C-alpha cells in the first residue's frame, strides 16, 4: 500500500504545561485510508490533528520532537499556507471557518489563494456545491445558513482544493442525526470513488463505522489500541450490554396529583427576519419530570427554551411558570427558581477562579459569606470539581467548563432546570458525566427539561419525550412508549437507536448475537 | 440601500461620495446645502425607487439636529441679542447657524450611508486592491462585515446567559456594572474565534503568495469614466473659482 503520511512523535509539550500532550506516536497512513480517531478527555486527539496539519509547530507554540512527513515532505520545512496543496482541515465550529459573506465566495476562498482564473473557480465551486448537496446556494448569505448547511459549506470549501488528504476534527458535533448521516455518506463516497484519504476525530463514532477502515484509540497522548471497525463494534456491544444492566428507571407516582411547573398555552413566535420560531405550542411540565425535547436542527427546540425563561416574548399565547404568568414585572422573581444551562459554557464563564464563578449568582442575591462558601463547596463537590476550586476556569476542558456552568446554576438552588443541548461538543464520557448529574438532580426532586438532538441520551435518561418538527410539537409521549411510536418518529427524521444494536445492519452475525 | 447604484463601479461611487463631502464642507449657506442634499436624495430615489433603507437614520438625525440646535442657541454670540433670561442669551444668528449645521450633518450622514450600503464587501475589497493596497489589508473589509454581526450575536447570547443567572440589566448603571461578567466571556470567545479563523484561512492557502485572484472583478465602463471625469471637473472648477480671487 502507498504510505501517504508518516507521523512519528516522540513527545509534544506545550509551554507552561508539565505533562506531555502526545508521546510515542508512530502512525503510518495509507492512501485511501478512512481512519477514525477517538478517545477520552484531553487524550490528545485534536493535538494529533494539529500536528498533521502543521498547525503545530507553525501556528501554536509547542515543543515537538519527532518527524511528520506528508507525501514525502517534512511539515517542519513547509510553510503553513502551503499545506493546502496536500490536505484540507475542517474544525468543529463552522462559523469560525466561514470567511466570506456569501456561499460562493466562501467556497472560492482557497481557489483564489491558489491563483486559479475566474472561469475555473466558477466551475469548481458549482461542482463542489452540487456534490455537498447545496447546488443553487451560490448567492445565499452565509449568515442565513443552518448549522448543517454551514458544516457542508465548510466541507465544500475544503473539498474544492482537491487535496489528497482530508483531516476533520469533530465535523458533525453540532448536527442532528440526519445531518450527521448525510455528511458521513458523502465522505464515504469520496473515500471510495476518489480514493481520498480521510482522518476523522470524533467522540461518538458508531455512525461513521460503516465507512471507516481503521479505528484508533488515544489515551493520555498515546495510541493505545488500533481496531478494525468490526472489532470496535463488538467491543462496544459488550460495553453497552453492561450499561443496560445498570439501566435507569423513573418511579413517578402516577396516583399523586401532578403539580404543574411550566405551562405553555397556544404559544407562537416568529423571528424578526420572518422565520418561524415556534407555532401553536401546548406543553405542560410537571414536578419531577425529566422531559427531553428532541427534533432536527432548526425545529424550534432552543426557541421553545428561550420562550420558557422569558428571553423571547411570544407573539401569541401565554406561558406560566410556577402558576404565574411570565411578565416583565415578575420575571426576575420567577427566574430565581429556574436554572438555565446554555449549550456553550463560555457564554457565562468570566471569573478568575471556579469558586468566584459558582458564587456569582449568590453574591448577586446578597447571600452571607459563610452560606456562600458552604454552597460553593457543595456545588463544586457535586460536579466533581472541588479540587480545582482556585484554578482559572479557562484552564479546564470543555466538558469540565460545562460542569462548572452546571455548578454555577445549582448554587442558586433552582427547582426547574432547563438544559439546552448541554452535551453538544462533548465526548461520550463528558456527555454522560453531565447527564448523570442531571439524572441525580432529577432523583433529588428537581424538574428537568432537556433540549437535545442526542436521541440515545434522551431515551436513556428521560421519562417523557417531546418531539418537535417544523416548529410544532408532533409527539408528547412517555419514553417507555418510544417503540410504539418508532415509525412516527422516523417520519420526522428521528431514528432512535436500539440501546445495543447501535449499528444495525452492520453484520448479520452481529444482529443475531444481540 | 439602492437597487441600481451597484451597477456603477465602486470607484465611481467613491468619487461621488468625495464630491458630496466636498460640497458639504465648503457650502456656507442653507440654500447651497439644501440643494446639494436634494441632489443626493434625488439620486437615491431615482436609482432605487424608495427611501426604505433611509428610515433608520431619521431618528439619529433628529437627535443630532436637536443637539446642534441646543448648542447654537446656548453658545452662539453672533448677530443681535433677541432674547435674554438670566444668563441665557439667544442671538439672531443662532437659528440660521443651527439650520446650516443640521443640513451639513444630514448631508454627510446621508451620503456616507449611500456609499457604504451601495456596494458589497467584495466590491470594496476589489476597489482597494485596484488602488494597489495589499490584499491582506483589503480583505479586512469583508472579514469585518462577516464577523461583526456574529460577534454582536454572541455578545447578546452572553448577556442572555448572565441575565438568566440573575444579573440585573435594567438601567444604564446596571449595564455599567455588568461590563465585567458580560465583556470578559466575550473577550475569551473573541480570542478563541480569531485564533481559529486565522488558522482556517492559512490552511486554505491565505498569504501563500503576494498575489491572489478573486472570483469576481470590477472594471470601469464608459459611463463610469464619463461620470468620474465630470465629477472631477466640477471639483476642479470649484477649487479654481475659489483660488483665483486669492492670486
B140 within domain boundaries: yes
Listed range (A419-428, B18-27, B104-113, B175-184) with the worst mean pLDDT? A419-428
Is residue B211 within 8 angstroms of chain A, CB to CB? yes
pLDDT over 50 (residue A336) = yes
Best residue in B141, B202, B218 to probe A by mutation, most A CBs within 10 Å? Answer: B202
Q: Which helix (H) or strand (E) holds A223?
A: strand A222-227
The answer to whether the Cβ–Cβ distance between A342 and B197 falls below 8 Å is no
Distance CA B144, CA B137 (A): 11
- Degrees, nearest 5: CA angle A448-A451-A454: 115
Instruction: Give residue A275's pLDDT band: very low, low, confident or very high (50, 70, 90).
Output: confident
The answer to whether the Cβ–Cβ distance between B145 and A101 falls below 8 Å is yes
Location of C-alpha cell 489563494? A113
CA A391 distance to own-chain centroid? 25
Listed range (A445-449, B22-26, B64-68, B243-247) with the worst mean pLDDT? B243-247
Looking at the fold, whether B240 and B125 belong to one and the same domain comes out as yes
- Residue A358 · residue A409 · CB < 8 Å: no
Residue with the bigger pLDDT between B120 and B182: it is: B182
CA-based diameter of chain B, in Å?
71
- Averaged pLDDT score across all residues of chain B: 87
Distance CA B227, CA B235 (A): 12
Instruction: Give residue A41's pLDDT band: very low, low, confident or very high (50, 70, 90).
Output: low
- DSSP secondary structure letter of residue A257: P
Cβ-based neighbours of B212, under 8 Å, separated by 6 or more: A112, A113, A115, B135
Cβ-based neighbours of A428, under 8 Å, separated by 6 or more: A203, A204
Residue ranges of domains in chain A: 1-83+164-182+193-238, 87-162, 260-491
Question: Chain B contacts of A412, Cβ < 8 Å?
Answer: 165-166
Distance CA A499, CA A460 (A): 8
Q: Which helix (H) or strand (E) holds A402?
A: helix A398-410
For residue A200, the model assigns a pLDDT of 93
Distance from CA of B90 to the nearest CA of A (A): 45
What does the pLDDT average to over A245-257? Answer: 55
pLDDT over 80 (residue A42) = no
Identify which of A80, A116, A347 has the shortest CB distance to residue B161. Answer: A347
pLDDT over 90 (residue A496) = no
The answer to whether the Cβ–Cβ distance between B161 and A59 falls below 8 Å is no
DSSP codes of every residue in A301-332? HHHHHHHHTTSS--SEEEEEETTEE--TTTHH
For residue A103, the model assigns a pLDDT of 93
B214 within domain boundaries: no
What does the pLDDT average to over A224-229? Answer: 92
Nearest to A429 by CA among A406, A391, A403, A455: A403
pLDDT over 90 (residue A432) = no
pLDDT over 80 (residue A380) = yes
> Which residue of chain A has the CA closest to B208?
A81
Looking at the fold, whether B128 and B33 belong to one and the same domain comes out as yes
Identify which of B146, B184, B213 has the shortest CB distance to residue A101. Answer: B146
The answer to whether the Cβ–Cβ distance between A113 and B206 falls below 8 Å is yes
Question: Backbone phi, then psi, for A204, in 5-degree steps?
Answer: -115, 105
The answer to whether the Cβ–Cβ distance between B213 and A118 falls below 8 Å is yes
B115 within domain boundaries: yes
* B115-140 pLDDT, tens digit each: 888 888 888 999 999 999 999 899 98
Listed range (A271-275, A322-326, B179-183) with the worst mean pLDDT? A271-275
Distance CA A88, CA A5 (A): 14
For residue A514, the model assigns a pLDDT of 29
Looking at the fold, whether B26 and B118 belong to one and the same domain comes out as yes
Q: Which helix (H) or strand (E) holds A265?
A: strand A260-270
For residue A500, the model assigns a pLDDT of 44
Nearest to A350 by CA among B188, B191, B177: B188
Question: Chain A contacts of B165, Cβ < 8 Å?
Answer: 348, 360-361, 364, 408-409, 412
Q: Is A300 helix (H, G, I), strand (E, B) or coil?
A: coil
- Residue B113 · residue B57 · CB < 8 Å: yes
Question: Chain B contacts of A121, Cβ < 8 Å?
Answer: 213, 215
Distance CA A455, CA A245 (A): 19
Distance from CA of B208 to the nearest CA of A (A): 5
Instruction: Give residue A425's pLDDT band: very low, low, confident or very high (50, 70, 90).
Output: low
Side-chain-facing half-sphere of A448: CA atoms under 13 Å = 33
> Residue A349 — left, alpha, or beta (φ > 0 → left; ψ -120 to 50 → alpha)?
beta
Question: Chain B contacts of A81, Cβ < 8 Å?
Answer: 202-203, 205-208
- Residue A215 · residue A228 · CB < 8 Å: yes
Is residue B93 within 8 angstroms of chain A, CB to CB? no
pLDDT over 80 (residue A505) = no
Touching A: B residues 141-180, CB under 8 Å? 142-143, 145-146, 149-150, 154, 157-158, 160-168, 180
pLDDT over 70 (residue A511) = no
Helix axes B140-164, B121-130, angle to 10 degrees: 140
Side-chain-facing half-sphere of A11: CA atoms under 13 Å = 8
Task: Provide the CATH number for the domain formed by A1-83+164-182+193-238 in this structure.
Answer: 3.40.50.300
Nearest to A383 by CA among A409, A347, A359, A350: A409
What does the pLDDT average to over A233-255? Answer: 63
pLDDT over 80 (residue A237) = no
> For chain B, first and last CA: distance in Å?
43
What is the Rg, in whole angstroms, of the alpha carbon atoms belonging to chain B? 24
Instruction: Give residue A348's pLDDT band: very low, low, confident or very high (50, 70, 90).
Output: confident
- Residue A154 · residue A90 · CB < 8 Å: yes
The answer to whether the Cβ–Cβ distance between A97 and B200 falls below 8 Å is yes
Number of domains forming the structure of chain B = 2
B244 within domain boundaries: yes
Domain of residue B224 covers 1-133+220-247
CA–CA distance from A306 to each of A279, B107, B148, B159, B188 (Å)?
Answer: 14, 42, 23, 13, 24
Looking at the fold, whether B119 and B50 belong to one and the same domain comes out as yes
Distance CA A461, CA A247 (A): 9
Distance CA A237, CA A231 (A): 10
Looking at the fold, whether B172 and B122 belong to one and the same domain comes out as no
Looking at the fold, whether B145 and B89 belong to one and the same domain comes out as no
Residue B30 has a CB neighbour count (10 Å cut-off) of: 17
B103 within domain boundaries: yes
Distance from CA of A411 to the nearest CA of B (A): 10
Identify which of A81, A360, A365 has the shortest CB distance to residue B208. Answer: A81
Q: Is A22 helix (H, G, I), strand (E, B) or coil?
A: strand
What does the pLDDT average to over A254-274? Answer: 82
Q: Is A198 helix (H, G, I), strand (E, B) or coil?
A: strand
CA–CA distance from A49 to each of A34, B123, B210 (Å)?
Answer: 14, 36, 28
Looking at the fold, whether B21 and B77 belong to one and the same domain comes out as yes
Q: Is A59 helix (H, G, I), strand (E, B) or coil?
A: coil
Question: Chain A contacts of B180, Cβ < 8 Å?
Answer: 350
> Which residue of chain B has the CA closest to A342?
B161
- Residue A46 · residue A91 · CB < 8 Å: no
- Residue A451 · residue A423 · CB < 8 Å: no
What does the pLDDT average to over A451-459? Answer: 85
| Beta-carbon pairs below 8 A across chains A and B | 156
Looking at the fold, whether B29 and B73 belong to one and the same domain comes out as yes
Listed range (A146-150, A258-262, A448-452) with the worst mean pLDDT? A146-150
> Which residue of chain B has the CA closest to A341?
B161
Query: What is the β-pairing status of strands A447-451 and A290-294?
Result: parallel
DSSP codes of every residue in A115-140? T--HHHHHHHHHHHHHHTT-TT-TTS
Instruction: Give residue B13's pLDDT band: very low, low, confident or very high (50, 70, 90).
Output: very high
Listed range (A394-398, A435-439, A467-471, A486-490) with the worst mean pLDDT? A394-398
- Residue A90 · residue A167 · CB < 8 Å: yes
Instruction: Give residue A214's pLDDT band: very low, low, confident or very high (50, 70, 90).
Output: very high
Question: Chain B contacts of A361, Cβ < 8 Å?
Answer: 165-166
| Bond into A312 cis (ω within 30) | no
Instruction: Give residue A242's pLDDT band: very low, low, confident or very high (50, 70, 90).
Output: low
For residue B173, the model assigns a pLDDT of 87
Question: Backbone phi, then psi, for A220, in 5-degree steps?
Answer: 45, 40
What does the pLDDT average to over A341-352? Answer: 86
Residue with the bigger pLDDT between B202 and A15: it is: B202
- Averaged pLDDT score across all residues of chain A: 86
pLDDT over 90 (residue B19) = yes
For residue A335, the model assigns a pLDDT of 86
For residue A240, the model assigns a pLDDT of 64
Q: What is this structure's pTM?
A: 0.79
> Which ipTM score applies to this complex?
0.79
Beta bridge partners of A36: A200, A215
For residue A253, the model assigns a pLDDT of 53
Instruction: Give residue B244's pLDDT band: very low, low, confident or very high (50, 70, 90).
Output: confident
Distance from CA of B58 to the nearest CA of A (A): 21
Residue with the bigger pLDDT between A453 and A513: it is: A453
The answer to whether the Cβ–Cβ distance between A97 and B167 falls below 8 Å is no
B104 within domain boundaries: yes
The answer to whether the Cβ–Cβ distance between B168 and A55 falls below 8 Å is no
Best residue in B145, B193, B210, B215 to probe A by mutation, most A CBs within 10 Å? Answer: B215
Question: Chain A contacts of B166, Cβ < 8 Å?
Answer: 332, 335-336, 361, 364-365, 412
For residue A434, the model assigns a pLDDT of 81
Residue with the bigger pLDDT between A426 and A125: it is: A125
Residue with the bigger pLDDT between B18 and A180: it is: B18
Question: Chain B contacts of A84, Cβ < 8 Å?
Answer: 203-205, 208
The answer to whether the Cβ–Cβ distance between A81 and B207 falls below 8 Å is yes
What does the pLDDT average to over A146-171? Answer: 88
- Residue A466 · residue A291 · CB < 8 Å: yes
Distance CA A98, CA B139 (A): 14
CATH topology of domain A260-491: Rossmann fold (3.40.50)
Q: Which three cell numbers stand for residue A176?
A: 442532528
- Residue A479 · residue A448 · CB < 8 Å: no
Looking at the fold, whether B149 and B108 belong to one and the same domain comes out as no
Is residue B208 within 8 angstroms of chain A, CB to CB? yes
pLDDT over 60 (residue A246) = no
CA–CA distance from A66 to each of A22, A48, B15, B19 (Å)?
Answer: 11, 12, 57, 62
Identify which of B161, B192, B215 has the shortest CB distance to residue A348. Answer: B161
Instruction: Give residue A247's pLDDT band: very low, low, confident or very high (50, 70, 90).
Output: low
The answer to whether the Cβ–Cβ distance between A116 and B213 falls below 8 Å is yes
Identify which of A80, A93, A335 has the shortest CB distance to residue B196. Answer: A93
Residue with the bigger pLDDT between A290 and A398: it is: A290
Nearest to B196 by CA among A34, A216, A53: A53
Query: What is the β-pairing status of strands A416-420 and B88-91?
Result: unpaired
> For chain A, first and last CA: distance in Å?
35
Residue with the bigger pLDDT between A79 and A252: it is: A79
Identify which of B181, B182, B207 has the shortest CB distance to residue A360. Answer: B181
Identify which of B184, B205, B206 has the shortest CB distance to residue A350. Answer: B184
Is residue B188 within 8 angstroms of chain A, CB to CB? yes
Amino acid at each position: 500500500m502507498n504510505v501517504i503520511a508518516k507521523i512519528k512523535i516522540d513527545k509534544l509539550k506545550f509551554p507552561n504545561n508539565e505533562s506531555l500532550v502526545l508521546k510515542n506516536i508512530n502512525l503510518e497512513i495509507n492512501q485511501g485510508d478512512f481512519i477514525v480517531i477517538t478517545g477520552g478527555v484531553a487524550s490528545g486527539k485534536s493535538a494529533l490533528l494539529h500536528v498533521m496539519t502543521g498547525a503545530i509547530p507553525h501556528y501554536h507554540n509547542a515543543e515537538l520532537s519527532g518527524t511528520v512527513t506528508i507525501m514525502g515532505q517534512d511539515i517542519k520545512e513547509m510553510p503553513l499556507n502551503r499545506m493546502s496543496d496536500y490536505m484540507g482541515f475542517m474544525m468543529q465550529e463552522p462559523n469560525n471557518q466561514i470567511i466570506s459573506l456569501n456561499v460562493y465566495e466562501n467556497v472560492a476562498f482557497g481557489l483564489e489563494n491558489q491563483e486559479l482564473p475566474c472561469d475555473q473557480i466558477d466551475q469548481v465551486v458549482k461542482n463542489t456545491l452540487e456534490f455537498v448537496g447545496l447546488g443553487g446556494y451560490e448567492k445565499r448569505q452565509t449568515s442565513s445558513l443552518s448549522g448543517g448547511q454551514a458544516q457542508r459549506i465548510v466541507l465544500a470549501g475544503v473539498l474544492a482544493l482537491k487535496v489528497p488528504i482530508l483531516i476533520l476534527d469533530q465535523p458533525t458535533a453540532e448536527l442532528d442525526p440526519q445531518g450527521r448521516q448525510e455528511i458521513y455518506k458523502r465522505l464515504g463516497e469520496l473515500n471510495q470513488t476518489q480514493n481520498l484519504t480521510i482522518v476523522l476525530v470524533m467522540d461518538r463514532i458508531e455512525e461513521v463505522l460503516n465507512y471507516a477502515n481503521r479505528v484508533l484509540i488515544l489515551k493520555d497522548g498515546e495510541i493505545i489500541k488500533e481496531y478494525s471497525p468490526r472489532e470496535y463494534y463488538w467491543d462496544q456491544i459488550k460495553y453497552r450490554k453492561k450499561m443496560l444492566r445498570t439501566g435507569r428507571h423513573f418511579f413517578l407516582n402516577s396516583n399523586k396529583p401532578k403539580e404543574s411547573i411550566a405551562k405553555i398555552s397556544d404559544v407562537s413566535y416568529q423571528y424578526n427576519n420572518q422565520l418561524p420560531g415556534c407555532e401553536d405550542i401546548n406543553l405542560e411540565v410537571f414536578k419531577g419530570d425529566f422531559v427531553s425535547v428532541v427534533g432536527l436542527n432548526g425545529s424550534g427546540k432552543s426557541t421553545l427554551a428561550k420562550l420558557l425563561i422569558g428571553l423571547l416574548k411570544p407573539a401569541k399565547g401565554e406561558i406560566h411558570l410556577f402558576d404565574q404568568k411570565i411578565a416583565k414585572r415578575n420575571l426576575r422573581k420567577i427566574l430565581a427558581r429556574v436554572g438555565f444551562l446554555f449549550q456553550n459554557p463560555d457564554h457565562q464563564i468570566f471569573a478568575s477562579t471556579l469558586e468566584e464563578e459558582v458564587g456569582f449568582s449568590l453574591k448577586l442575591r446578597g447571600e452571607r459569606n459563610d452560606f456562600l462558601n458552604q454552597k460553593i463547596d457543595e456545588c463544586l463537590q457535586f460536579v466533581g470539581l472541588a479540587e480545582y476550586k482556585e484554578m482559572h476556569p479557562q484552564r479546564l476542558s470543555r466538558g469540565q467548563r460545562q460542569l462548572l456552568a452546571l455548578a454555577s446554576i445549582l448554587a442558586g438552588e433552582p427547582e426547574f432546570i432547563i438544559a439546552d443541548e448541554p452535551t453538544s461538543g462533548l465526548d461520550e464520557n463528558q456527555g454522560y458525566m453531565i447527564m448523570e448529574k442531571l439524572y441525580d438532580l432529577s432523583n433529588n426532586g428537581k424538574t428537568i427539561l432537556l433540549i437535545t438532538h442526542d436521541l440515545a441520551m434522551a431515551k436513556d435518561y428521560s421519562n417523557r419525550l417531546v418531539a418537535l418538527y417544523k416548529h410544532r410539537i408532533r409527539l408528547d409521549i412517555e419514553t417507555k412508549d418510544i417503540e410504539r411510536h418508532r415509525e412516527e418518529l422516523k417520519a420526522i427524521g428521528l431514528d432512535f437507536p436500539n440501546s445495543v444494536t447501535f449499528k444495525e445492519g452492520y453484520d448479520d452475525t452481529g444482529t443475531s448475537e444481540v | 440601500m439602492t437597487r441600481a447604484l451597484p451597477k456603477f463601479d465602486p470607484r465611481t461611487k467613491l468619487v461621488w461620495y468625495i464630491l458630496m463631502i466636498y460640497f458639504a464642507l465648503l457650502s456656507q449657506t442653507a440654500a447651497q446645502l439644501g440643494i446639494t442634499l436634494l441632489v443626493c436624495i434625488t439620486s437615491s430615489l431615482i436609482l432605487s425607487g424608495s427611501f426604505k433603507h433611509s428610515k433608520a437614520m431619521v431618528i439619529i438625525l433628529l437627535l443630532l439636529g436637536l443637539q446642534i440646535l441646543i448648542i447654537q442657541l446656548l453658545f452662539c454670540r453672533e448677530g443681535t441679542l433677541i432674547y435674554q433670561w438670566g444668563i441665557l442669551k439667544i442671538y439672531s444668528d443662532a437659528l440660521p447657524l443651527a439650520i446650516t449645521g443640521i443640513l451639513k450633518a444630514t448631508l454627510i450622514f446621508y451620503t456616507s450611508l449611500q456609499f457604504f450600503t451601495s456596494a458589497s464587501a467584495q466590491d470594496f475589497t476589489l476597489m482597494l486592491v485596484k488602488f494597489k493596497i495589499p490584499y491582506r489589508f483589503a480583505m479586512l473589509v469583508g472579514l469585518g462585515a462577516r464577523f461583526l454581526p456574529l460577534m454582536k450575536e454572541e455578545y447578546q447570547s452572553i448577556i442572555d446567559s448572565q441575565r438568566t443567572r440573575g444579573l440585573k440589566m435594567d438601567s444604564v448603571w446596571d449595564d455599567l456594572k455588568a461590563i465585567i461578567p458580560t465583556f470578559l466571556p466575550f473577550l475569551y470567545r473573541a480570542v478563541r474565534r480569531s485564533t481559529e479563523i486565522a488558522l482556517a484561512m492559512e490552511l486554505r492557502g491565505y498569504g501563500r503568495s503576494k498575489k491572489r485572484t478573486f472570483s469576481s472583478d470590477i472594471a470601469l465602463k464608459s459611463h463610469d469614466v464619463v461620470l468620474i471625469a465630470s465629477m472631477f471637473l466640477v471639483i476642479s472648477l470649484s477649487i479654481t473659482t475659489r483660488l483665483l480671487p486669492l492670486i
